[in-house]
């Protein structure tokens, strides 16, 4: 039967083309389309926070430098991963990630729960010279981040684009994006209060890379790293019960 | 290049010039709009590319046309351009790969420059070899195969050139972009939105040329190699468009955000990523295998029916398996299980293809022994069989729990890319280069032999090193001591990788040396006049003149009745 059908197909270009497209479409439709419709694919997290403009800028730097090529952000449901990195990752935690940064390779360790694990100072020193902190590290040096001023003027465009793909930024957040980015490193400024009002009291507001007057790319990246895994309260809610469902 | 212009009529020269000027103007507009952003720098790159083409076309505009009998010959000039680009990208892509490998062994080799860190040059390696080297080889050989097996010339004179040159502009935008930090961060689909739009334009033209050539065929049947090339062209287009849906921050900046987020984005990415393996790195190269291996061996494909089963099997099953990249993650488990199951089923059509290829060589094993070109193809088929087995094995969830995130994946990928993709490409190029440049043979069969052993030993050293490091890494991460805590810190595993990273770089270096030998041999083949090839050589390799077509899938079995 197959041979007879094929025998007809291979003499007609367009029919063969349609046959190929049909055969190759089924799998994708069955596996991907339901992910958008089946409830429960992504868990509910009512109090999920969005990244601040400074953290968005940091995430863009994380993408720009290709950090995702060596560091995953996806802890699997395996006992050793949970013991090493913390609670396994839930789908909701990367709900606002466009694109996702789950990664595929661990040349360095997973970073899904890096937020709050180390001090800002540790991150800055480590990014400037990884081997000064971890002698055996093979990570590149990112000292230039501390020298480069962050371009904050156009961050509103970034937030607007993220809103277009589904991240719930408000008009207020978009309009004040560049002011918020500057305010996040200056805790005592008047802008900081407005920032906290917009993004919530739990927002990290401090001088990430050691200066309140200047916002560098280092500030942005460290602010982002301190927020990775902290957008939901998964880890706090789960408490001590970290038993993963799979144990092989 | 001047010879190419000479084959064009005045009208065609004007059309080519118009396209080149359009590209220049697009580049100028981008440069003006994207001032201060990498988008603007890419504008200058596009403008320079268009300007070089424009100036060249103007300088050659008045060249007298050559008296080539167009109706009675195949159109091979774009193929030659694609071959040159393919080899150039092979060297560039592998150099970046070698550099990246060395950085993992000795991190100071990045020289602490922003553009040269591992994270920025790694996509240059993957794009250079997959899209630069592999993509140009696919375009070149597909133009060759579709014309010969259809006994028809390509329909248009300018469009195939546009496809080759336009495709390489996309590769250039990708490769230069990563160094500036322009990336969408989706693996194997990193170039930003404007490069993607350009690629889609080029690709549609490519598909149209291919379909029109098939429509002009003088053979009643479409040869098996063309099924694969067709699947490659059309499915890659669908995959690429869906996975690259994104919203640019603004039309004057390079950055965009993916339309999908989180779990849906992850599934879309690996649906794309694994099917880039399926339809770019497998289907297209199987097209090469199905044409060049029977031609070189002088044997018909072993079984027409196995060809049919494996073609539809690969087309249908492959698309399901992407989720095996996401085992034990936040992706719903039912999708993971589907991915694993179909990965196992996929072994059937994969081994059918590999077996069909090896059985084709029955009766020609003496040629495999004597002819390194055919041996490249044979080894490619063997690696194809081994890699597809390994792939199905690694898709099993418990195996994947060990292998995922480790160098085992890198070993698997390179067994496929060095062992299968590169070997079948070199075999096909060594067969095709003398045919399109109308030479009796390659300049030096002995250098082909040298290249073969460099390629094989380099690939084996590379894969063995990464197998060892990958499994060691996976085991170290999951080992517990007697107190029930993890036995090794992460950095312990980094230290343990050091010797394997050196061995891997060595394997890559040997492979790259082989490629350089290939470049030299191709260069000399092109430059050496026909008379300088010894008369004895002509008997060994293919005779000069029009290449006879392979019989359409000659089958020992009777064909089904109409």
ipTM: 0.93
Give the model's pLDDT for residue A242.
45
Q: What percent of chain A has pLDDT over 70?
A: 94
Q: What is the predicted pLDDT for the residue at B556? A: 37
Q: How confident is the model at residue A210 (pLDDT cuts 50, 70, 90)?
A: confident
Contact A157 B480 (CB under 8 A): no
Across the interface, whether the CB atoms of A30 and B320 are under 8 A apart is answered yes
The whole-number pLDDT of residue B295 equals 94
Contact state of A140 with B271 under an 8 Å Cβ cutoff? no
Of B315, B326, B478, the CB nearest to A24: B315
Residue B399 Cα, gap to closest chain A Cα (Å): 10
User: Between chains, do A20 and B120 touch, taking CB under 8 Å as contact?
Assistant: no
Element (H, E) at B246: strand B246-248
Look at residue A194 and tell me whether its pLDDT is greater than 50: yes
CA distances from A145 to A58, A69, A70, A175 (A): 11, 19, 19, 26
Give residue A237's pLDDT. Answer: 63
B184, B220, B305: residue with CB nearest A11: B220
- Gap from B182 CA to chain A (nearest CA, Å): 6
Q: Among partner residues A20, A89, A98, which is closest to B315 by beta-carbon distance?
A: A20
Ranges of chain B whose pLDDT falls below 50? 539-562
Min distance A53 CA to chain B CA atoms (Å)? 14
Nearest chain A Cα distance for residue B370, angstroms: 35
Supply the DSSP symbol for A119.
-
Min distance A188 CA to chain B CA atoms (Å): 31
Report the distance separating Cα B352 and Cα A49, nearest Å. Answer: 51
Nearest-Cα distance to chain A for B414, in Å, is 15
B352 vs A contacts (CB less than 8 Å): none
Describe the crossing of helices B77-105 and B423-436 by its angle, rounded to 10 degrees.
150
DSSP characters for B103-125?
Answer: HHHSGGGGTT-GGGSHHHHHHHH
Average pLDDT over every residue of A103-108: 96
Do residues B285 and B425 touch, judged by C-beta distance below 8 A? yes
The domain segmentation of chain B, as residue ranges, is 1-63, 77-224
A153, two tokens: 């003027």
Contacts of B257 in chain A (CB under 8 A): 98-99, 158, 161-162, 164-165
The residue among B156, B169, B163, B303 whose CA lies nearest residue B224 is B303
Q: Which residues is A149 bridged to in the sheet?
A: A216
Q: Which residues 6+ apart lie within 8 Å of B317 measured at CB?
A: A27, B342, B345, B346, B349
Nearest CA in chain A to B275: A24
Q: Collapse the DSSP code of B438 into the 3-class scheme (helix H, G, I; strand E, B; otherwise coil) and give the result.
A: coil
Closest C-alpha to A29, from B59, B245, B322, B556: B322
Determine whether the interchain pair A66/B120 forms a contact, defined as Cβ–Cβ distance below 8 Å: yes
Q: Do B329 and A102 touch (CB under 8 A)?
A: yes
Task: Name the more confident of B499 and A213.
Answer: B499
Using DSSP, state whether B257 is helix, strand or coil: strand
Candidates A139, A182, A59, A121; CA nearest to B257 is A59
Q: What letter does residue B135 receive in the DSSP assignment?
A: I
Taking one residue from A and the other from B, the number of pairs with CB-CB distance under 8 angstroms is 264
At A138 the pLDDT is: 97
Among B186, B214, B247, whose Cβ lies nearest the Cβ of A13?
B214
Q: Which of B173, B89, B102 is closest to B131 using CA atoms?
A: B89
Closest chain B residue to A134, measured at CA = B491
What pLDDT, on the 0 to 100 scale, is given for residue B482?
95
Contact residues on chain A for B124, CB-CB shorter than 8 A: none
């Amino acid at each position: 039967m197959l041979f007879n059908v094929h025998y007809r197909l291979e003499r007609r270009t367009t029919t063969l083309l349609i046959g190929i497209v049909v055969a190759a479409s089924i799998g994708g439709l069955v596996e991907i389309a339901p992910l958008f419709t089946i409830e429960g694919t992504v868990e509910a997290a009512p109090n999920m926070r969005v990244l601040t403009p400074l953290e968005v800028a940091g995430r863009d730097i994380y993408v720009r430098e290709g950090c995702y090529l060596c560091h995953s952000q996806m802890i699997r449901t395996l006992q050793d991963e949970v013991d090493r990195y913390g609670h396994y990752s839930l789908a909701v935690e990367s709900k606002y990630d466009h694109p996702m940064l789950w990664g595929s390779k661990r040349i360095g360790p997973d970073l899904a729960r890096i937020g709050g694990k180390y001090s800002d100072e540790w991150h800055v020193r480590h990014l400037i010279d990884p081997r000064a902190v971890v002698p055996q590290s093979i990570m590149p040096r990112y000292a230039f981040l501390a020298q480069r001023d962050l371009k904050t003027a156009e961050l509103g465009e970034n937030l607007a684009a993220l809103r277009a793909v589904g991240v719930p930024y408000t008009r207020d957040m978009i309009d004040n994006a560049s002011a918020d980015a500057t305010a996040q490193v200056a805790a005592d400024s008047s802008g900081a209060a407005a920032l906290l009002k917009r993004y919530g009291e739990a927002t990290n507001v401090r001088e990430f890379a050691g200066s309140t007057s200047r916002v560098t790319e280092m500030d942005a990246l460290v602010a982002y790293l301190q927020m990775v895994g902290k957008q939901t309260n998964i880890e706090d809610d789960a408490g001590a019960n970290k038993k993963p469902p799979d144990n092989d | 290049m001047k010879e190419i212009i000479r084959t064009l009529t005045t009208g065609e020269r004007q059309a080519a010039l118009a396209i080149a000027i359009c590209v220049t103007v697009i580049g100028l507009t981008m440069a003006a709009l994207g001032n201060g952003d990498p988008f603007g720098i890419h504008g200058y790159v596009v403008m320079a590319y268009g300007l070089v083409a424009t100036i060249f076309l103007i300088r050659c505009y008045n060249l007298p046309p050559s008296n080539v009998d167009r109706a009675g010959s195949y159109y091979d000039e774009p193929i030659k351009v694609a071959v040159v680009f393919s080899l150039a990208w092979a060297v560039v892509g592998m150099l970046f790969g070698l550099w990246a490998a060395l950085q993992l062994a000795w991190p100071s080799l990045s020289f602490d420059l922003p553009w040269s860190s591992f994270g920025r040059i790694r996509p240059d390696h993957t794009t250079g070899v997959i899209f630069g080297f592999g993509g140009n080889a696919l375009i070149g050989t597909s133009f060759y195969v579709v014309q010969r097996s259809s006994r028809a010339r390509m329909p248009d004179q300018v469009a195939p050139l546009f496809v080759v040159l336009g495709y390489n502009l996309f590769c250039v935008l990708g490769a230069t972009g990563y160094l500036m930090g322009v990336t969408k961060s989706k693996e194997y689909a990193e170039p930003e939105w404007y490069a993607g739009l350009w690629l889609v334009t080029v690709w549609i033209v490519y598909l149209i040329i291919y379909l029109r050539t098939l429509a002009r065929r003088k053979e009643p049947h479409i040869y098996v190699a063309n099924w694969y090339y067709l699947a490659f062209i059309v499915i890659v287009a669908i995959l690429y468009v869906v996975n690259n849906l994104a919203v640019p921050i603004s039309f004057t900046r390079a950055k965009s955000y993916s339309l999908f987020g989180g779990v849906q984005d992850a599934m879309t990415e690996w649906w794309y990523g694994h099917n880039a393996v399926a339809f770019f790195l497998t289907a297209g190269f199987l097209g090469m295998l199905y044409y060049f291996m029977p031609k070189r061996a002088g044997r018909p494909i072993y079984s027409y029916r196995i060809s049919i089963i494996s073609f539809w099997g690969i087309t249908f099953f492959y698309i399901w398996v992407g989720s095996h990249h996401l085992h034990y993650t936040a992706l719903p488990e039912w999708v993971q299980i589907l991915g694993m199951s179909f990965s196992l089923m996929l072994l059937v059509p994969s081994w059918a293809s590999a077996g069909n290829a090896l059985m084709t060589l029955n009766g020609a094993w003496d040629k495999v022994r004597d002819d390194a070109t055919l041996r490249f193809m044979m080894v490619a088929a063997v690696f194809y069989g081994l890699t597809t087995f390994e792939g199905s094995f690694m898709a099993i969830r418990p195996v994947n729990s060990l292998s995922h995130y480790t160098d085992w994946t890198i070993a698997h990928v390179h067994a496929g890319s060095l062992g299968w993709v590169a070997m079948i490409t070199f075999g096909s190029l060594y067969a095709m280069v003398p045919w399109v440049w109308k030479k009796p043979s390659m300049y030096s069969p002995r250098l082909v032999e040298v290249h073969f052993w460099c390629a094989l030993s380099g690939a084996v050293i590379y894969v063995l090193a990464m197998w060892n490091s990958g499994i060691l890494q996976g085991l170290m991460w999951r080992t517990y001591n007697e107190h029930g805590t993890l036995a090794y810190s992460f950095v312990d595993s980094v230290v343990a990788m050091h010797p394997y990273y050196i061995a891997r770089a060595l394997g890559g270096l040997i492979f790259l040396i082989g490629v350089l030998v290939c470049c030299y041999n191709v260069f000399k083949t092109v430059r050496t006049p026909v008379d300088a090839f010894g008369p004895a050589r002509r008997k060994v390799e293919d005779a000069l003149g029009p290449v006879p077509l392979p019989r359409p899938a000659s089958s020992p079995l009777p064909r089904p009745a109409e």
